[in-house]
A = this chain, B = another copy of it.
Amino acid sequence: MKRNKRERQALLTETIKENPFITDEELADKFTVSVQTIRLDRLELSIPELRERIKNVAEKNFEDEVRSLPLEEVIGEIIDMDLDNSAISILDIKKEHVFKRNQIARGHHLFAQANSLAVAVINDELALTAKANIRFTRSVLEGERVVAKAKVISIDEEKGRTLVEVTSFVNSEIVFKGDFEMYRSHA
């Protein structure tokens, strides 16, 4: 069970990534080396100490949680957000998103990106999709980057409905367009 340095450090990175709550002592036990070796490894790998790691995990979503925004639950990465107005997210199409036969992205991934963005842009605890009208105008291939832009068109406070238009692009070429009628609990 003797691992060399390289091997141990690779495993260490993996272990900490999977469980950031592990102490140096527990790691030393696990790899049957001294605590000092673990600390040296962390230093070389630029892995912060337990408390910093925990703090990072805690801070990551705290803001969102207070705002009750399901930002973490959005498909794709949000790069701009102006609540109740507009939002932009990007999604890189990888192997797991495409049909094996032809490397074309499955429609529901584009829909998921657009739909979750429409949910996120609404400044409300409870936003749900009521209706949607969508068009796929060009197939997206593996390796392409889809930029989705959501725009809030209108807010009907009486009916509790909000209209959101989402347009997705690959290199300024429209690949998807959807009109979402969203339900909100507290408009």
A11 to chain B, nearest CB (A): 18
Enumerate chain B residues within 8 angstroms of A129, measured Cβ to Cβ: 107, 136
**A58 and B54 form a contact (CB under 8 A):** yes
Please tell me the number of chain A residues within 8 Å of chain B, measured between CB atoms: 48
CB-based nearest B residue for A178: B132
Enumerate chain B residues within 8 angstroms of A21, measured Cβ to Cβ: 55, 58-59, 62
Given contacts A135-B130, A136-B131, contact A108 B101 (CB under 8 A): no
Enumerate chain B residues within 8 angstroms of A101, measured Cβ to Cβ: 68, 70, 125-126
Contact of A96 among B51, B73, B111, B139 (CB under 8 A): B73
Contact of A116 among B65, B75, B96, B108 (CB under 8 A): B108
Give the distance in Å from the alpha carbon of A128 to the alpha carbon of B137 in the complex. Answer: 11
Enumerate chain B residues within 8 angstroms of A130, measured Cβ to Cβ: 135-136
A106 within 8 A of B: yes
Known: A21-B58, A70-B96, A111-B112. 13 other contacts (CB 8 A): A21-B55, A54-B58, A60-B61, A61-B61, A64-B72, A71-B75, A71-B112, A72-B96, A73-B100, A101-B125, A101-B126, A108-B116, A129-B136
